């Protein structure tokens, strides 16, 4: 049984990476069918901060991120969802952290990075506790609400003629053919973009790149004192995770400080950061735990650690509104998996937690290669 007429491109997965490929192909005038096993997107593309962290990337990720930034702005207008050009503020609470930001600003220039003194940080990120020495405003970063943006992109693609098949579980992919729970689909090209589940159909690809599932502790908390924060906020732990910051010479001193003062943050690979949703709730996280198969049990001590550090940032005890498990694909060897296991088939996964930041740039490159 076939589920429809042949298509130019079949995309397996309706998360942000899959949708980005559908956008790239649709705008080239190609017929596109998206196959999604769930009734709506519920994975990493919905569970994240909505942080388009362009400026702090390096290498290929930075190239994809700059291109993706333009697509976010354009698609926000086309698909009618807000894209905030409010940037990111990186907060420095030690001399070593401040030195990283000074080095990064000198490298990237005033157009991208504006240094802030303590009062400058307070003017754009109100409500922080005392002890902030300064910061940097990454001026070109964007923010979206993934719970709004991803469904809006899906609706826009459907209006543009993309056939999105919900509840279509894909059991096998062959050259020119996708076998699904709703029948077989013939496609001249196929993109498999199921994030951390790429090992389900392509275990050899996952093994080659040592892909594991990265599990995150994430929260929504009530804004202390009703504070309103426009930009995304990063702290010193981000200086060890984002390539642009981590490559600064002073980042070694930041790591040494963490080892001496709070080694437990390194044990859970904490990246303390936050964004604020339109309803005021603050999205807060996160920690990183790597496994092929994630445990179903959450350690409350890890959650308490995140809330402790966030409480120190604000100088207040935070009230938890929601908590959830984030998850994404991780590889120790690459930020992006783009494999060709069969003719006309691409297995694509962002394996570094920056799918929202880079997917639209990555998809342009993949579709250019496929067609």
Judged by average pLDDT, the poorest of 93-102, 197-206, 291-300 is: 291-300
Q: For a pLDDT cut of 70, what percent of the chain falls above it?
A: 99
Using pLDDT thresholds of 50, 70 and 90, give the confidence band for residue 42. confident
The tokens of 140 are what?
Answer: 């070109």
pLDDT per position as a tens digit, 212-232: 999 999 999 999 999 999 999
Domain boundaries, the chain: 7-53+57-63+146-198+334-370, 88-139+212-330
Q: Which of 361, 342, 341, 340 is nearest to 350 (CA)?
A: 361
Q: Say how far apart CA 350 and CA 19 lie, in whole Å.
A: 13
pLDDT per position as a tens digit, 98-145: 999 999 999 999 999 999 999 999 999 999 999 999 999 999 999 999
Largest CA distance in the chain: 66
Give the mean pLDDT of the chain. 96
The set of residues, in sequence order, having a beta carbon less than 8 Å from that of 272 and lying 6+ positions away, is 234, 235, 237, 238, 265, 285, 306, 309, 310, 313
Q: Does residue 328 sit in helix, strand or coil?
A: strand
Tell me the mean pLDDT in the region 332-358: 97
Judge if 7-53+57-63+146-198+334-370 and 88-139+212-330 fold alike in CATH terms: no
Q: Say how far apart CA 368 and CA 125 lie, in whole Å.
A: 41
Q: 88-139+212-330 has which CATH code? A: 3.30.9.10
> For 7-53+57-63+146-198+334-370, which CATH class?
alpha beta
Using pLDDT thresholds of 50, 70 and 90, give the confidence band for residue 45. confident
Rounded to 5 degrees, φ, ψ at 172 are -160, 150
Peptide bond into 227 cis (omega under 30): no
Instruction: Specify the pLDDT at position 1.
Output: 57
Strand ranges for 37-192 from DSSP E: 51-52, 88-92, 113-117, 134-138, 142-143, 163-166, 170-174, 177-180, 183-192
Tell me the torsion sign for CA atoms 7, 9, 13, 17: negative
Query: pTM value?
Result: 0.96
Partner residues linked to 213 by β-bridges: 291, 329
Taking 90 as the threshold, does the pLDDT of residue 234 lie above it?
yes
Instruction: Specify the pLDDT at position 44.
Output: 84
Question: Would you call 61 exposed, middle or buried from its count of C-beta atoms within 10 A (0-12, 13-18, 19+)?
Answer: buried
């Amino acid at each position: 049984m076939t589920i429809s007429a042949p298509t130019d491109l079949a995309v397996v997965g309706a998360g942000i990476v899959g949708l980005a490929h559908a956008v790239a192909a649709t705008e080239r005038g190609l017929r596109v069918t998206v196959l999604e096993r769930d009734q709506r997107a519920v994975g990493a593309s919905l569970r994240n901060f909505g942080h388009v962290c362009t400026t702090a990337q390096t290498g290929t990720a930075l190239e994809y991120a700059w291109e993706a930034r333009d697509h976010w702005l354009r698609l926000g207008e086309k698909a009618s969802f807000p894209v905030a050009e409010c940037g990111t503020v990186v907060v420095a609470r030690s001399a070593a952290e401040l030195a990283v930001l000074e080095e990064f600003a000198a490298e990237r220039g005033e157009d991208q990075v504006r240094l802030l003194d303590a009062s400058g940080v307070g003017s754009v990120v109100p409500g922080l506790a005392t002890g902030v020495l300064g910061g940097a405003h990454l001026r070109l970063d964007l923010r979206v609400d993934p719970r709004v943006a991803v469904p809006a992109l899906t609706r826009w693609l459907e209006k543009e003629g993309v056939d999105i098949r919900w509840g279509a579980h894909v059991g096998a992919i062959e050259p020119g053919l996708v076998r699904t729970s709703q029948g077989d689909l013939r496609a001249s090209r196929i993109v498999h973009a199921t994030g951390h589940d790429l090992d389900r159909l392509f275990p050899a690809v996952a093994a080659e790149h040592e892909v594991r599932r990265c599990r995150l502790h994430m929260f929504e908390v009530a804004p202390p004192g009703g504070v309103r924060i426009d930009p995304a906020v990063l702290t010193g732990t981000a200086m060890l995770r984002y390539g642009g910051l981590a490559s600064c010479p002073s980042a070694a001193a930041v790591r040494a400080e963490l080892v001496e003062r709070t080694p437990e943050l390194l044990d859970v690979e904490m990246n303390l950061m936050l964004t604020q949703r339109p309803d005021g709730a603050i999205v807060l996280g996160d920690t990183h735990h790597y496994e092929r198969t994630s445990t179903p049990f959450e350690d409350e001590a890890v959650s308490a650690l995140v809330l402790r550090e966030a409480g120190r940032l604000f100088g207040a005890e935070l009230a938890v509104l929601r908590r959830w498990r984030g998850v994404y694909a991780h590889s120790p060897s690459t930020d992006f998996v783009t494999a060709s296991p069969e003719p006309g088939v691409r297995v694509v996964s962002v394996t570094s937690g920056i799918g929202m930041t880079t997917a639209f740039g990555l998809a342009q490159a993949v579709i250019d290669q496929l067609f």
